[in-house]
């Protein structure tokens, strides 16, 4: 699946004149799972190379691809997005990253996203609504806060947070099957532009689980934070 996504990204990236930003990032999520044996991030690693492309309509940010149909204060785009909390234990089978295909609508500070699993991993869909803005603090310093709701359908919740009867038979967890869930998301980001080529970004996000997720025997925290640091270099 990751190979297919990489091919899609590369083919889209070189379809128009390139304008690349590279760099490196570090992402550290909080511990919220019971006995997770793998890195929970979509690409399975905390240190990630930054590959960023912005064209007239196409944007590529790591494993996420967006193509703008309309641009401006009112914008519409179609997207490919990596999603899912990777999880595995001795008694829980691997929950791998999924790829959502969907659409985004932005009206000034309000963003609406919808995505459906096109990788046949969790066989469901997600949506979210976010309110956020980028504030200019000084010539080189920017602050970007946001708050939002994340809507996960039954297929997503049961795949990533449920426990099947087969897994429960191994004795570590009880069987757990639930319906839809709504999580709360909070984020704050600071961008410092060192010069015309170099910039640094620090992000902190905080997710609060819906009760149906927190009650899963695979979850041991009501909420968790994720810190990320990025250095970007514009070519």
Tokens of 90: 């001795």
Q: What is the pLDDT of residue 54?
A: 83
Tokens of 174: 């009880």
Nearest alpha carbon to residue 60 among 11, 115, 13, 98: 13
Structural domain including 150 reads 2-234
Q: What is the pLDDT of residue 5?
A: 46
74: domain CATH number? 2.40.230
CA distances from 151 to 35, 51, 62, 125, 157 (A): 26, 28, 23, 9, 10
- From CA 12, how far away is CA 31, in angstroms rounded? 35
Model confidence, pTM? 0.87
DSSP character string of 125-152 = EEEEEEEE--EE-SSSEEEEEEEEEEEE
Q: Using the structure block, give the residue that is written with the tokens 């999603």.
A: 83
Q: Mind listing the pLDDT tens digit for each residue in 114-163?
A: 999 999 999 999 999 999 999 999 999 999 999 999 999 999 999 999 99
Residue numbers of the chain with a pLDDT score lower than 70: 1-18
SS3 content of the chain, % helix, strand, coil (to 5): 10, 50, 35
Q: How many domains does the chain have?
A: 1
Q: What is the pLDDT of residue 145?
A: 98
Between strands 64-70 and 125-132, the pairing is unpaired
CA distances from 217 to 93, 118, 178, 181 (A): 14, 28, 12, 16
């Amino acid at each position: 699946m990751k190979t297919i996504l990489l091919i899609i990204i590369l083919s889209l990236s070189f379809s128009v004149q390139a304008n690349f930003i590279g760099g490196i990032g570090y992402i550290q999520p909080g511990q919220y799972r019971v006995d997770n044996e793998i890195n929970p991030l979509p690409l399975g690693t905390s240190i990630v190379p930054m590959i960023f492309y912005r064209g007239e309509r196409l944007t590529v940010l790591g494993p996420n691809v967006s193509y703008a149909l309309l641009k401006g204060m009112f914008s519409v785009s179609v997207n490919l997005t990596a999603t899912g909390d990777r999880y595995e234990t001795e008694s829980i089978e691997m929950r791998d990253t999924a790829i959502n295909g969907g659409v985004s609508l932005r009206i000034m500070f309000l963003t609406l996203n919808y995505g459906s699993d096109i990788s046949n991993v969790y066989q469901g869909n997600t949506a979210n609504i976010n309110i956020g803005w980028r504030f200019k603090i000084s010539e080189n310093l920017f602050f970007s806060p946001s708050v939002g709701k994340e809507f996960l359908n039954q297929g997503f919740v049961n795949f990533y947070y449920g426990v099947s009867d087969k897994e429960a038979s191994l004795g570590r967890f009880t069987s757990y099957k639930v319906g839809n869930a709504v999580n709360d998301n909070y984020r704050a980001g600071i961008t410092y532009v060192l010069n015309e080529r170099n910039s640094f970004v620090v992000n902190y996000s905080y997710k609060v689980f819906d009760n149906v997720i927190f009650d899963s025997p695979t979850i041991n925290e009501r909420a968790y934070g994720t810190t990320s640091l990025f250095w970007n270099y514009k070519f």
